[in-house]
């Protein structure tokens, strides 16, 4: 990194003021009106299109001229096609974009070794100037590979390849080419979706060009064992210079590693003459993710836009990574390794896995360790270890002289924390000094002594696909998976998240049965479905592991049974939501609840066994014996959404989980892009799962913007199939028998019992049809399952529902079709880092609303209410969980469209996520988030369809909002505006409340 800014004067010079003014003069203005965008008929459209030809033909010369002018002004020279490499090159790569840097670095190395290779970089792709292209080609060229970073299925080749072939062919045909026959031209694909593109891959392309019959339409960077398009790559080839610091940092998502590294880049790139570069690789989990930072530093400019291949410094900021990943895979001989270790200097070596010890010895790696968590705790920095680890990096990597480095870190601390006052600065200075005191070099024994092995990514009990594909992606080896490993149509198995035991919680809840009142609130709020409850017969305790906890079940409908709560400690994120909502306290010691957090490590083995035992206990049946309208009962249902990648304490996932508990075995979900599609449907693992009968939610994601229509399509398809199936049942009475046909056609499926009965009838139907040859019988067999009622859920965030997908959502609401829309309202675009949406509240700070949002949140529910036939509920589980359960049940039962707007806390709110449910409560108590249900069916009974379900506001708005960073931020940065917006917001709350209140008091009798 060395960014030289152009001055405003130079930028102004690059522009022709006269042309800018001419452009302005062409603007639409009523002072000199014209029309644009007319509709055109076939008589004139064609000619109009051709009318613009001159602009295209003149563009290359104009761009060339401007590039020259730019070079004169700035000294930075560009050409339409730029050549790099041997003047007498025989083998040539043509490509464009950032990959050119890698190719050029490789060409330099190969050329220095005497190879006649070259690179032609395309700077102006369209209009493609054949003349300039041909003029840039070395005359000596014999073989050309054109690389495209795209795939056009079904085309002869990718776009740049086709252009190059056409350019050369035309030039040979019109004899303007410097050769009479075409050189060999091949095309290839690389780097799709930012897949790594390394010098070794470039070299393999040049190697291919030496073959008499080089592969055309090749791929590079993957192993294609299906159509065998890929080139083989010698990964030992690399061009990374010796005089560079290349450092890899393994950090835990949100532990500050990435920001500390960005700060190091700033310190070195801006504060010293050195060059710096950083790449940050994240996995798709939103909590407990592994992030690997790749940092390069050196005295020469860095032209390596690919990840570090050989590192001379490696830091591992979380010791648990050592059991999950081969952190030394890219270590060079003599590299330095820095570990954040919970063990003291004497104990570190013995806790390293055997393979790691062997690598350390074989590669002569220097090992340093520090217990950064202990230092952070001692210096009152909580879990923030980033400054401590950054100090250690500077102290031992040699990137800067030690004293200078420490001084610069302190300077940067002062800059960052200065505003927060001198004590905070001093606290961080103390952490820097303490880091140096607690950093130890660990002596390396001559032989490996450990017996620890890397833990397998998934259990050996996992199904084949999970063992061979999912596990590889989890282990970070997805790049090495061959093409044949993947499904042809993007269809993946469900229920795979249970195999990925992430063990990310430092502390997990432990159940104290003696205090438990069996309310199930903990189970309901758990975002990761890792705390569950069951009621079971005492006889089923046979074979229970020692210490498996249980108490008598307190259900009138389930007499003489036992109750248990079990935590999957390996899947728990340690968010504490369950502990916070637990209402059962020890009267003698109110700090002791029925759930309390305890360190995970000592519990891991025993609780793993307990969890396995718990899983095999029978699931509660939906057979009509027990109703599921209460939290206490709902919690007993199996969640068909578990162990997702959502953030610890996420407010969205408990709603999805609840939906799957109630309806998951017959649900089809259309999911908008957003957090819910990432924690819900991002590889490697899938949290949607199945029950013991093999049923569970079927899930798909189309786009961010079209999700409502996508779900509507699912509904229409299902309805058509059901109608056809019913028609066939009626027509095939002779085969099926009148009794069964009538039962199938008239079955009441409004209850779980009715649905189960219908399923049994379908089983009967299948046996009758199984050996029939008639076309209609075979048809009915193929869609018989649609005779059982299905429920369509359209799920997405507020960015989707309020903004980008609103047009479609409105269309679906107006369609009258039986779909259920669940809006997970975090009041920002959470997945992309918290941008404001129309759901963002007045006064809150969000991206694109840095000065506090000045307009009120859109009232989506009220807008939808105007249709009159839409069921609408606004819910907040943390404020009233029973209300939430009721709303889900009513929404699903409503025969038309239903809309549930669910308040979800999010890390973007700047709150202590453990208190997320409490925040929901405050939102409701302040009147900001009224709870209501609008049920059009009530009108048929002459009742008011609008029921306001929360009480009159009992706290002022500020008591809620100033517990959240998103509001406090403005209060700090601009108190006056904050005060004004608060007043406006408070007023808006009152107005809305009065409006709702009036609505709820209207008479419909």
Ligand X SMILES: Cc1ncc(C[n+]2csc(CCOP(=O)(O)OP(=O)(O)O)c2C)c(N)n1
How many residues form the binding site for ligand X (CB under 6 A)?
21
Stretch that binds ligand X, among 75-83, 460-468, 523-531, 669-677 (CB under 6 A): 669-677
Counting contacts by CB under 6 A, is residue 826 touching ligand SF4?
yes
Q: Is 199 helix (H, G, I), strand (E, B) or coil?
A: helix
Site string for ligand X, 796-825 (x = CB under 6 A): xxxxx---x-------------------x-
Q: Binds 641, which of ligand X, ligand SF4, none (CB < 5 to 8 A, cut-off by type)?
A: none
Q: What angle do CA 562, 566, 570 make, to 5 degrees?
A: 160
Q: Please state the closest distance from residue 147 (CB atom) to ligand X, in A.
A: 27
Counting contacts by CB under 6 A, is residue 116 touching ligand SF4?
no
One of 164, 395, 617, 647 touching ligand SF4 (CB under 6 A)? 647
Stretch that binds ligand SF4, among 627-635, 824-832, 848-856, 892-900 (CB under 6 A): 824-832
Q: Which is nearer to ligand X, 674 or 936 (CB)?
A: 674
Per the CB < 8 A criterion, the answer to whether 292 and 321 are in contact is no
Per the CB < 8 A criterion, the answer to whether 670 and 793 are in contact is yes
Q: Please state the closest distance from residue 490 (CB atom) to ligand X, in A.
A: 17
For the beta sheet containing 562-567, the strands, ordered from the edge strand earlier in sequence to the opposite edge, are: 531-536, 562-567, 551-552
Counting contacts by CB under 6 A, is residue 199 touching ligand SF4?
no
Site string for ligand SF4, 588-627 (x = CB under 6 A): ----------------------------------------
Stretch that binds ligand SF4, among 387-395, 642-650, 812-820, 944-952 (CB under 6 A): 642-650
Stretch that binds ligand SF4, among 21-29, 89-97, 444-452, 825-833 (CB under 6 A): 825-833
Counting contacts by CB under 6 A, is residue 237 touching ligand X?
no
For residue 598, give the H/E element and its range: strand 595-599
- What residues numbered 572-591 form the site for ligand SF4, per CB under 6 A? 572-578
Counting contacts by CB under 6 A, is residue 509 touching ligand SF4?
yes
Q: Is 296 helix (H, G, I), strand (E, B) or coil?
A: strand
For residue 73, give the H/E element and its range: helix 53-74
Counting contacts by CB under 6 A, is residue 523 touching ligand SF4?
no
One of 336, 357, 685, 830 touching ligand X (CB under 6 A)? 830
Overall size of the chain counted in residues:
1005
Counting contacts by CB under 6 A, is residue 675 touching ligand SF4?
yes
Closest CA to 904 of 923, 930, 888: 923
Q: Binds 643, which of ligand SF4, ligand X, none (CB < 5 to 8 A, cut-off by type)?
A: none
Count of CA atoms in the C-beta half-sphere (13 A) of 12 = 3
Round to whole Å and give the CA distance between 721 and 774: 18
Round to whole Å and give the CA distance between 841 and 732: 58
One of 646, 794, 845, 901 touching ligand SF4 (CB under 6 A)? 646
Q: Please state the closest distance from residue 880 (CB atom) to ligand SF4, in A.
A: 19
Round to whole Å and give the CA distance between 455 and 200: 31
Counting contacts by CB under 6 A, is residue 837 touching ligand SF4?
no
Q: Binds 650, which of ligand X, ligand SF4, none (CB < 5 to 8 A, cut-off by type)?
A: ligand SF4
Per the CB < 8 A criterion, the answer to whether 316 and 248 are in contact is no
Counting contacts by CB under 6 A, is residue 673 touching ligand X?
yes
Q: Please state the closest distance from residue 171 (CB atom) to ligand SF4, in A.
A: 54
Q: Binds 573, which of ligand SF4, ligand X, none (CB < 5 to 8 A, cut-off by type)?
A: ligand SF4
Burial class (CB in 10 A: 0-12, 13-18, 19+), 273: exposed
Q: Binds 875, which of ligand X, ligand SF4, none (CB < 5 to 8 A, cut-off by type)?
A: none
For the beta sheet containing 91-95, the strands, ordered from the edge strand earlier in sequence to the opposite edge, are: 81-85, 117-122, 91-95, 143-148, 184-190, 218-220
Write the DSSP string, 620-685: PP-SSSS---SHHHHTTSPPSB-S-SPPTT-SSHHHHHHHHHHHGGGEEEEE-SSHHHHHHH-SS-
Q: Is 836 helix (H, G, I), strand (E, B) or coil?
A: strand
Q: Binds 870, which of ligand X, ligand SF4, none (CB < 5 to 8 A, cut-off by type)?
A: none
Counting contacts by CB under 6 A, is residue 650 touching ligand SF4?
yes
Q: Please state the closest distance from residue 658 (CB atom) to ligand X, in A.
A: 16
Site string for ligand X, 705-724 (x = CB under 6 A): x-------------------
Q: Please state the closest distance from residue 797 (CB atom) to ligand X, in A.
A: 2
Q: What angle do CA 165, 170, 175 make, to 5 degrees?
A: 130
Q: Please state the closest distance from residue 360 (CB atom) to ligand X, in A.
A: 42
- What residues numbered 831-890 form the site for ligand X, per CB under 6 A? 831-832, 837
Closest CA to 314 of 339, 333, 289, 291: 339
Which residue has tokens 């464009």?
96
Q: Binds 800, which of ligand X, ligand SF4, none (CB < 5 to 8 A, cut-off by type)?
A: ligand X
Closest CA to 527 of 905, 881, 800: 905
Q: Binds 705, which of ligand X, ligand SF4, none (CB < 5 to 8 A, cut-off by type)?
A: ligand X
Round to whole Å and give the CA distance between 312 and 335: 4
Counting contacts by CB under 6 A, is residue 565 touching ligand SF4?
no
What single-letter DSSP state applies at residue 25? H
Round to whole Å and give the CA distance between 824 and 16: 50
One of 110, 567, 821, 948 touching ligand SF4 (CB under 6 A)? 567
Counting contacts by CB under 6 A, is residue 704 touching ligand X?
yes
Count of CA atoms in the C-beta half-sphere (13 A) of 140 = 10
Residue spans of alpha helices (H) in 732-799: 733-736, 738-746, 752-769, 775-783, 798
Q: Which is nearer to ligand X, 625 or 811 (CB)?
A: 811
Q: Binds 109, which of ligand SF4, ligand X, none (CB < 5 to 8 A, cut-off by type)?
A: none
Q: Which is nearer to ligand SF4, 571 or 665 (CB)?
A: 571
Q: What helix, strand, coil percent values describe the chain, rounded to 5?
A: 45, 15, 40
What single-letter DSSP state applies at residue 570? T
For residue 14, give the H/E element and its range: helix 8-14
Counting contacts by CB under 6 A, is residue 903 touching ligand X?
no
Counting contacts by CB under 6 A, is residue 210 touching ligand X?
no
Counting contacts by CB under 6 A, is residue 289 touching ligand SF4?
no
Site string for ligand X, 636-665 (x = CB under 6 A): ----------------x-------------
Counting contacts by CB under 6 A, is residue 320 touching ligand SF4?
no
Per the CB < 8 A criterion, the answer to whether 823 and 901 are in contact is yes
One of 530, 566, 958, 971 touching ligand SF4 (CB under 6 A)? 530
Per the CB < 8 A criterion, the answer to whether 503 and 568 are in contact is no
Q: Which is nearer to ligand X, 642 or 798 (CB)?
A: 798
Counting contacts by CB under 6 A, is residue 652 touching ligand SF4?
yes
Closest CA to 450 of 365, 350, 358: 350
Burial class (CB in 10 A: 0-12, 13-18, 19+), 902: buried
Residue spans of alpha helices (H) in 113-232: 130-136, 159-173, 199-209
Q: Binds 320, which of ligand SF4, ligand X, none (CB < 5 to 8 A, cut-off by type)?
A: none
Round to whole Å and give the CA distance between 958 and 985: 9
Which residue has tokens 């709150």?
911
User: β-strands 117-122, 81-85: how paired?
Assistant: antiparallel
Q: Minimal CB distance to ligand X: which residue? A: 797
How many residues form the binding site for ligand SF4 (CB under 6 A)?
27
Stretch that binds ligand X, among 508-516, 754-762, 792-800, 808-816 (CB under 6 A): 792-800
Residues that bind ligand SF4 (CB under 6 A): 286, 508-509, 526, 528, 530-531, 567, 572-578, 646-647, 650, 652, 675, 679, 826, 830-831, 906-908
Residues that bind ligand X (CB under 6 A): 652, 672-676, 704-705, 796-800, 804, 824, 826, 829-832, 837
């Amino acid at each position: 990194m060395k960014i030289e800014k152009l001055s405003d004067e130079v930028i102004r010079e690059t522009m022709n003021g006269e042309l800018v003014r001419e452009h302005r003069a062409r603007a639409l203005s009523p002072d000199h009106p014209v029309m644009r965008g007319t509709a055109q008929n076939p008589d004139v459209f064609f000619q109009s299109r051709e009318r613009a030809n001159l602009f295209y033909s003149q563009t290359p010369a104009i761009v060339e001229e401007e590039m020259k002018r730019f070079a004169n002004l700035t000294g930075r020279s560009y050409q339409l096609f730029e050549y790099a490499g041997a003047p007498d090159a025989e083998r040539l790569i043509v490509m464009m974009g950032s990959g050119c840097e890698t190719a050029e670095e490789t060409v330099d190395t190969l050329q220095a070794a005497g190879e006649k290779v070259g690179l032609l970089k395309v700077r102006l792709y369209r209009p493609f100037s054949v003349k300039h292209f041909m003029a840039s080609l070395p005359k000596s060229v014999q073989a050309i590979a054109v690389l495209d970073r795209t795939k056009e299925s079904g085309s002869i080749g990718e776009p740049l390849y086709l252009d190059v072939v056409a350019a050369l062919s035309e030039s040979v045909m019109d004899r303007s080419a410097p050769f009479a026959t075409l050189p060999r031209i091949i095309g290839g694909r690389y780097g799709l979706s930012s897949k790594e593109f390394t010098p070794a891959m470039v070299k393999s392309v040049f190697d291919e060009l030496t073959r008499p019959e080089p592969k055309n339409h090749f791929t590079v960077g993957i192993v294609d064992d299906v159509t065998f398009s890929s080139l083989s790559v010698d990964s030992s080839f690399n061009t990374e210079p010796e005089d560079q610091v290349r450092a890899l940092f393994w950090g835990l998502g949100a532990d500050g590693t990435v920001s500390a590294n960005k700060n190091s880049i700033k310190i070195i790139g801006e504060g010293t003459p050195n060059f710096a570069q950083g790449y940050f690789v994240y996995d798709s989990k939103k909590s407990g993710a592994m992030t690997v930072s790749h940092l390069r530093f050196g005295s020469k400019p860095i032209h390596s836009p690919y990840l570090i291949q050989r590192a001379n410094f490696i830091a591992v900021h979380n010791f648990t990574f050592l059991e999950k990943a081969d952190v030394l895979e890219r270590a060079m001989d003599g590299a330095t390794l820095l570990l954040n270790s919970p063990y003291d200097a004497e104990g570190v070596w013995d806790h390293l896995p055997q393979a790691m010890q062997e690598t350390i010895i074989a590669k002569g790696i220097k090992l340093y360790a520090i217990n950064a968590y202990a230092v952070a705790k001692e210096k009152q920095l909580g879990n923030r270890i980033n400054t401590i680890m950054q100090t250690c990096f500077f102290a031992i990597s040699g990137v800067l002289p030690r004293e200078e480095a420490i001084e610069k870190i302190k300077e940067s601390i002062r800059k960052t924390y200065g505003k927060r006052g001198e004590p905070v600065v001093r606290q961080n200075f103390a952490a820097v000094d303490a880091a140096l005191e607690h950093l130890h070099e660990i002596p390396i024994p001559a032989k490996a002594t450990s017996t620890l092995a890397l833990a397998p990514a998934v259990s050996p009990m996992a199904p084949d696909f999970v063992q061979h594909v999912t596990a590889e992606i989890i282990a970070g080896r997805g790049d090495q998976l061959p093409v044949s490993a993947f499904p042809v149509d993007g269809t993946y198995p469900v229920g795979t998240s249970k195999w990925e035991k992430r063990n990310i919680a430092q502390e997990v809840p432990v159940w104290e049965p003696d205090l438990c009142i069996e309310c199930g609130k903990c189970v309901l709020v758990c975002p990761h479905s890792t705390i569950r409850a069951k009621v079971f017969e005492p006889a089923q305790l046979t074979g229970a592991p020692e210490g498996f906890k249980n108490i008598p079940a307190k259900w009138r409908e389930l007499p003489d049974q036992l109750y248990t709560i079990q935590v999957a400690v390996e899947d728990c994120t340690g968010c504490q939501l369950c502990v916070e909502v637990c209402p059962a306290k020890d009267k003698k010691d109110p700090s002791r609840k029925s759930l309390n957090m305890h360190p995970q490590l000592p519990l891991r083995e025993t609780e793993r066994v307990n969890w396995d035992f718990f899983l095999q206990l029978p699931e509660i049946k939906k057979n009509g014996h027990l109703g599921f309208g209460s939290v206490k009962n709902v919690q007993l249902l199996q969640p068909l959404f578990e162990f997702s990648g959502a953030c610890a304490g996420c407010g969205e996932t408990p709603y999805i989980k609840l939906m799957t508990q109630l309806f998951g075995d017959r649900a089809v979900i259309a999911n908008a892009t957003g957090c819910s599609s990432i924690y819900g449907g991002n590889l490697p693992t899938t949290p949607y799962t199945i029950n013991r009968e093999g049923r569970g939610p079927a899930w798909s994601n189309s786009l961010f913007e079209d999700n409502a229509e996508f779900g509507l399509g699912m509904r229409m398809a299902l309805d058509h199939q059901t109608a056809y199936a019913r028609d066939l049942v009626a027509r095939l009475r002779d085969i099926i028998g009148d009794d069964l046909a009538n039962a199938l056609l008239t079955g009441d499926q409004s209850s779980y019992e009715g649905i189960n009965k219908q399923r049994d009838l379908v089983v009967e139907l299948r046996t009758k049809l199984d050996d029939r040859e008639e076309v209609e019988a075979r048809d009915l067999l193929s869609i018989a399952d649609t005779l059982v009622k299905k429920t369509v859920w359209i799920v997405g965030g507020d960015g989707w529902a309020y903004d980008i997908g609103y047009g479609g959502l409105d269309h679906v609401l107006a369609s009258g079709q039986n779909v259920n829309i669940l809006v997970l309202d975090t009041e920002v675009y959470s997945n992309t880092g918290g941008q404001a949406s129309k759901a963002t509240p007045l006064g809150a700070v969000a991206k694109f609303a840095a000065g506090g949002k000045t307009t009120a949140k859109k009232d989506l529910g009220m807008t939808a209410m105007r249709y009159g036939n839409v069921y609408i509920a606004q819910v907040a589980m943390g404020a009233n969980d029973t209300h939430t359960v009721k709303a889900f049940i009513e929404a699903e039962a409503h025969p038309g469209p239903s809309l549930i707007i669910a308040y979800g806390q999010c890390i973007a709110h700047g709150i202590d996520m453990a208190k997320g449910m409490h925040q929901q409560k405050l939102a409701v108590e302040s009147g900001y988030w009224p709870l209501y249900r609008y049920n059009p069916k009530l009108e048929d009974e002459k009742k008011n369809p609008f029921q306001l379900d929360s009480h009159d506001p009992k706290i002022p708005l500020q008591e809620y909002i100033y517990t959240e960073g998103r509001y406090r931020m403005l209060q700090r940065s601009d108190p006056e505006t904050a005060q004004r917006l608060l007043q406006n917001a408070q007023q808006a709350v009152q107005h809305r409340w009065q409006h709702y209140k009036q609505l709820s008091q209207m008479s419909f009798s």
